[in-house]
A and B are shown apart, each in its own frame.
Chain A
């Protein structure tokens, strides 16, 4: 899975902001805010990753058990798919 082309993630005054650029602007013209975990997962997904890799990286970076991490990841991926931001 990989984040679709055409989106830029940047930290602006402490907030993690995603804006569409290039091709992305045709689908969507708003702004998305990600929390810290979301921003972390997003960055991993920018380079492409499967669920196992996301789980491994998240639990390595944050002090969280596998079950919670897995739920958080599923919820995040669901949001991305619904917003049409993910290439599977």
Chain B
């Protein structure tokens, strides 16, 4: 069993394959009491691999340890958002969309135009959001999808942006009513009433304080300038 600290939570977890070993390294920690316990039996990993023959045992361990973590996160005022998270000047901005739309492309353009020393990818696939001491933080986690872009850090949430491809660039804020179904589509939607209640409580806080936008972008420098200048929360220079 290994001890990790993820999203300010003590995680006692079993893993043995190469992706987890590599990804978890930056999150290693020490503690007496754990908050989250993840131990998927070998037989279960093998069974899941049998059901998903396109995946290796390594893939299965990586995917399902992540799933277990994010499910537990709901009990600690947190949830995951399928998004590419980029941190600039003290805030994390999350770009969310269905796979293949271009969220990682967009955040990598932020790095290109703002400079990789100024813009960091906190998690390229599923950052954890968590309310801690009344503030909303975005965290890197070991589980960052196909790329291994993640950083063990936390940043206050600046904005959530739902992205779509478009020939012309546009951005506008959207209402709570519009944002909620978009968020539910990009997280693990709880099936069960008490878990859904917890998620909605977290969203209540987040949507009361965080701007949410819809961005249409053509993946050009202009698109980056438009999104950055509209959503940035640091003091304007």
> A residues within 8 Å of B by Cβ?
8, 10-15, 17, 19, 21-22, 25, 30-31, 33
Whether A25 contacts B191 by the Cβ 8 Å rule is: yes
Q: Which of B185-232 contact A (CB under 8 A)?
A: 190-193, 196-197, 200-201, 203-204, 207-208
In the complex, which residues of chain B have a beta carbon less than 8 angstroms from the beta carbon of A30?
181
8 Å CB contact of A10 from B181, B184, B190, B204: B204
Q: A10-B204, A13-B208 are in contact. Are A21 and B177 (CB under 8 A)?
A: no
In the complex, which residues of chain B have a beta carbon less than 8 angstroms from the beta carbon of A14?
176, 208
6 new A-B contacts, CB < 8 A, other than A13-B208, A17-B177, A22-B191, are: A8-B200, A12-B176, A13-B204, A15-B175, A31-B181, A31-B184
8 Å CB contact of A19 from B175, B196, B204, B208: B196
Q: In whole Å, how far is B173's beta carbon from the nearest beta carbon of chain A? A: 13
Tell me if B180 is interfacial: C-beta within 8 Å of chain A: yes
8 Å CB contact of B176 from A8, A15, A21, A25: A15
Q: How far is the CA of A18 from the CA of B184 in the complex (A)?
A: 12
Residue among A12, A14, A21, A25 with the most chain B CB within 10 A? A12
8 Å CB contact of A11 from B177, B190, B204: B204
Whether B200 contacts A12 by the Cβ 8 Å rule is: yes
Whether A17 contacts B200 by the Cβ 8 Å rule is: yes
Whether A22 contacts B193 by the Cβ 8 Å rule is: yes
Whether B204 contacts A33 by the Cβ 8 Å rule is: no
In the complex, which residues of chain A have a beta carbon less than 8 angstroms from the beta carbon of B197?
8, 10
Q: A12-B180, A31-B180, A31-B184 are in contact. Are A21 and B196 (CB under 8 A)?
A: yes
Q: How far is the CA of A31 from the CA of B203 in the complex (A)?
A: 14
In the complex, which residues of chain B have a beta carbon less than 8 angstroms from the beta carbon of A13?
176, 203-204, 207-208
Residue of A nearest to B177 (CB): A33
Q: How far is the CA of A13 from the CA of B136 in the complex (A)?
A: 15
Residue of B nearest to A33 (CB): B177
Q: How far is the CA of A22 from the CA of B177 in the complex (A)?
A: 22
Whether B196 contacts A12 by the Cβ 8 Å rule is: no
In the complex, which residues of chain B have a beta carbon less than 8 angstroms from the beta carbon of A31?
177, 180-181, 184
Q: How far is the CA of A50 from the CA of B201 in the complex (A)?
A: 31
Q: How far is the CA of A83 from the CA of B181 in the complex (A)?
A: 17
Q: A31-B184, A33-B177 are in contact. Are A22 and B204 (CB under 8 A)?
A: no
Whether B176 contacts A19 by the Cβ 8 Å rule is: no
In the complex, which residues of chain B have a beta carbon less than 8 angstroms from the beta carbon of A10?
197, 200-201, 204
